[in-house]
Amino acid sequence: MTRRLVALAALVAALAFGVSAYAYQAEAVVDGGTIAGTVRYAGKPPKPERVEITKDIGVCGAEPHYSEALIVGADGGIKYAVVTLKDIEKGEPIKPVEVKFDQKGCEYHPHVIALPAGGTVDIINSDGILHNVHTESKANPPFNLAQPGFKRLIRKKLDKPDLIEVSCDVHNWMRGWWYVAASPYYAVTDAAGHYTISNVPPGTYTLQVWQETLGTRERKVDVKPGKTVTVDFELSAKTNK
């Protein structure tokens, strides 16, 4: 299966579970707990795949490019996995956020962003050349907008939970993801695969991890008042929801 088909399969699977059937309710959280852990790759990590640069070489080819569809660190930690509480119905208020999504060196920085529904993405063109922002979504309206070098900023508000693939029609190797969460309880793993979700109301929840190449995995988690619970995930090419 090609990388493109793998990504589309991940998108379809994620959309099947990602849009909540309930209305999230804001309330004060008393003695909230913390969920923390690491998302790791099972087995020998794949070698980074070199990306061929075919256009605007002066800007795009200044540094070697490698696929970010699966980044595994030296200790097996997976970068850019998104961890969410799938079934939380109430908790701390969803605050409006603005997240930067930069086009620099003809790559997306960061490759994966997460934000709650109602948040805003600031799409930045740091390259000063023509880019094209093309989204594939289900719950939010998709768009396909040219962003020439003089138009440094495009701002888009995302009102509904969704998983959105972003690409550039001008530079066909550029791919990124926007994960729009149904609650404020989400995290994107760092370079070591670590994540932390704080101030969680005590209770039992379904914790879910999504990774664009490896799919999804779920675990039940019991959050105690004022305590930290550790939940680690191990993903492989055979990971299933």
Q: According to the model, what pLDDT value does residue 17 have?
A: 41
Is 240 within a domain?
A: no
Domain count, the chain: 1
Cβ-based neighbour number of residue 34 at 10 Å? 16
Distances (CA, A) of 111 to 9, 93, 108, 119: 18, 27, 5, 18
What Rg do the C-alpha atoms of the chain give, in angstroms? 18
The model's pLDDT over 183-240, given as tens digits with 9 standing for 90+, comes to 999 999 999 999 999 999 999 999 999 999 999 999 999 999 999 999 999 999 865 4
Query: Which DSSP symbol is given to 100?
Result: E
Distances (CA, A) of 9 to 12, 116, 155, 171, 212: 5, 23, 28, 22, 9
Is 231 within a domain?
A: yes
The model's pLDDT over 10-60, given as tens digits with 9 standing for 90+, comes to 444 444 444 444 589 999 999 999 999 999 999 988 889 999 999 999 999
The model's pLDDT over 114-153, given as tens digits with 9 standing for 90+, comes to 999 999 999 999 999 999 999 999 999 999 999 999 999 9
6 pLDDT band, cuts 50/70/90, is very low
pTM of the model: 0.89
Q: According to the model, what pLDDT value does residue 23 have?
A: 83
Give the domain CATH number at 53: 2.60.40.420
Domain range holding 176? 3-235
Q: According to the model, what pLDDT value does residue 237 have?
A: 83
pLDDT of 8 > 60? The answer is no
Asked whether the beta carbons of 225 and 203 are under 8 A apart, the reply is no
